[in-house]
Amino acid sequence: MSAVRVRGLTRRFTLRGVLNGVDLDIAPGEFVALVGASGSGKSTLLRALAGIDHEAQGEGEIAVPARLSVVFQDARLLPWKRVLANATLGLTGADVRTRGLAALAEVGLAGREDAWPHELSGGEQQRVALARSLTREPELLLADEPFGALDALTRLRMHALLKRLSETHRPAVLLVTHDVDEAIELADRVVLLEAGRIAADIPIDHAAPDRAARFLALRASLLALLGVEDPLSDEPKIPGPTRSMGR
Amino acid sequence: MNAPLTGAFEIAATARPAWTPPPASPPARPRLGLGRPAPLGWLLGPGLLLFYWSVGSASGFIDARILPSPWATVATAADLIREGRLQTNLAVSALRAGEGFVLGVSAGLVVALISGLSLTGGYVFDGLVQMKRAIPTLALIPLVILWFGIGEVMKVTVIALTVFIPVYLQTHNALRAIDLRYVELAETLGLSRWAFIRSVVLPGALPGVFLGLRFAVMSAWLALVVVEQLNAASGVGYMINLARTYAQTDVIVVGLVVYALLGLVSDSAVRVAETRVLSWRRSLAS
């Protein structure tokens, strides 16, 4: 029983094919990072899972949990609602305020519930977006390059936060990113999308004793698969996971 | 390769000179900006006009029959107020404009909501309003007179019709121009249609509504001037018309100044309401 099940998914925009037969499973509580070059179709896949790809045509089978939430690259807060109202947007019930305040505290924004979105920094806005996702208690969290617009230091802090949140709440996570380091650091599994197909599917063992060395090797081979030469590796080629290691 | 690098970092850390803050300077202004705005700078233009007017009148360059002097105008205004004519006529005019404004704004908002929030509503109303928009309201006056006579109902109707258009246009446009990103967000959050309209569409359209209101206030006074010139037995326009009959240029000028003040005051009232309601907005003007 998986949280996400995708079979033979294809998507086209007018004539250009973007996804060509994608199969993907994500187990409950599993953290999957989806990497790929620009135009590889990673955002299209995420939007298909989120059910917001109305403009695309295609076929295939998608099964996702009913409780899913999306974190976009822009925080996408409603500027006319204060932080708490943004975090609890669309929720109903007596305990909405309590839940919203708890979620805001969890992302480190306790006491900022009455601020307007424009009074927050970019990182803080993205924290509110995370809190908004948390208040829905999602079984699947879809994140579309959520830290892409943040500066490097803020991004590191947000990595730690997302890691902690996903370990506490255990949703299945699909993180779309073009940042290979981010993918290796956060995910249980890195899936590489290339020209609308899954080109590699690499499990990551965070408990391995030689973690650092393995990560470097993995980084180099992922970058090689993405067609980038790894500036960190002086050695000519490190044998690492290759395309054939995909499932 | 690593050792000397670490050493270099240590040297840099220990030999770093104490940081001294730069000398305090006044807040920098952009070199290519327009400079520091003066608090009441906008009064310069009107002030200059008043100055030329005064000099022209005092030197006899401006004939008092063409344009009375500023002080003669002020004296006339004082007389009109003492006799009570100005207040009475102003009250009548303000009531007319107010009634037409409220009617026109209400109708404009209701029709814009129907036509902005539903496709069918748009098909029914938008074409009609665009057609109505192509006919100047003043061209409808003969028909309105035939329908409602030349009394108060006709006047208020013409004002309401004039006010309706900008309120409708701006509101409809704002309702339809909601950012697609917010629509996506609402879909992923599972918002109901009503919750979407209440939380996203309506607050998002409010700036457009206020823009429509500001146009509407001005059109209300404009329409008022026209209907009061037509056939009226009271009001500022009546006062002006009567003055023309007796060639009282000073009374005409007082009337015009009153119109200008009314427009300015009501426009700033809408702007104050706007900044109150849209306090979430951080715009260039704020």
Quick check: is B13 in a domain? no
pLDDT value for B206: 94
Query: Tens digit of pLDDT for each residue in A49-66?
Result: 999 988 788 888 999 999
Statement: residue A110 has pLDDT above 60: yes
Indicate if A153 and A39 belong to the same structural domain. Answer: yes
- Residue of A69, A116, A136 with shortest CB distance to B280: A116
Quick check: is B156 in a domain? yes
pLDDT value for B286: 47
pLDDT value for A125: 95
Chain B's closest residue to A70, CA to CA, is B188
End-to-end CA distance of chain B: 56
Quick check: is A100 in a domain? yes
- What is the span of the domain harbouring residue B141? 68-277
Instruction: Chain A: give the shortest CA distance to residue B283, in Å.
Output: 11
Based on the structure, what is the number of domains in chain A? 2
Strands A189-194 and A197-203: antiparallel
Indicate if A124 and A168 belong to the same structural domain. Answer: no
Q: How crowded is the C-beta side of B152, counted as CA atoms within 13 Å?
A: 11
Indicate if A9 and A86 belong to the same structural domain. Answer: no
Quick check: is B56 in a domain? no
Boundary (domain end) residue, out of A89, A116, A137: A137
Residues of chain A contacting residue B182, judged by C-beta atoms under 8 Å apart: 76, 78
Indicate if A177 and A226 belong to the same structural domain. Answer: yes
Q: Which of A47, A55, A80 to mutate to test the interface with B (most CBs of B within 10 A)?
A: A80
Based on the structure, what is the number of domains in chain B? 1
Quick check: is B52 in a domain? no
Indicate if A133 and A172 belong to the same structural domain. Answer: no
Residue B189 forms contact with A (CB below 8 Å): yes
How many CB contacts within 8 angstroms connect chain A with chain B?
50
Note whether A69 contacts B280, CB cutoff 8 Å.
Answer: no
Quick check: is A216 in a domain? yes
Query: Tens digit of pLDDT for each residue in B227-239?
Result: 988 877 889 999 9
Indicate if A174 and A237 belong to the same structural domain. Answer: yes
Indicate if A189 and A209 belong to the same structural domain. Answer: yes
Mean pLDDT by 10 residues, chain B (286 residues): 48 56 64 81 90 93 90 93 92 94 96 94 94 88 92 93 95 93 93 93 94 93 88 87 91 91 90 88 58
Instruction: Chain B: give the shortest CA distance to residue A93, in Å.
Output: 14
Mean pLDDT across chain B: 87
Residues in A whose CB is inside 8 Å of some CB of B read 50-52, 68-70, 72, 74, 76, 78-81, 89-90, 116, 118, 132, 136
Indicate if A120 and A143 belong to the same structural domain. Answer: no
pLDDT value for A175: 96
Indicate if A195 and A152 belong to the same structural domain. Answer: yes
DSSP secondary structure letter of residue B95: H
- What is the span of the domain harbouring residue A155? 4-67+139-245
Strands A4-13 and A61-63: antiparallel
Quick check: is A39 in a domain? yes
Q: How would you classify residue B35: left for phi > 0, otherwise alpha for psi between -120 and 50, otherwise beta?
A: left
Indicate if A26 and A96 belong to the same structural domain. Answer: no
Domain CATH for B197: 1.10.3720.10
Note whether B206 contacts A90, CB cutoff 8 Å.
Answer: no
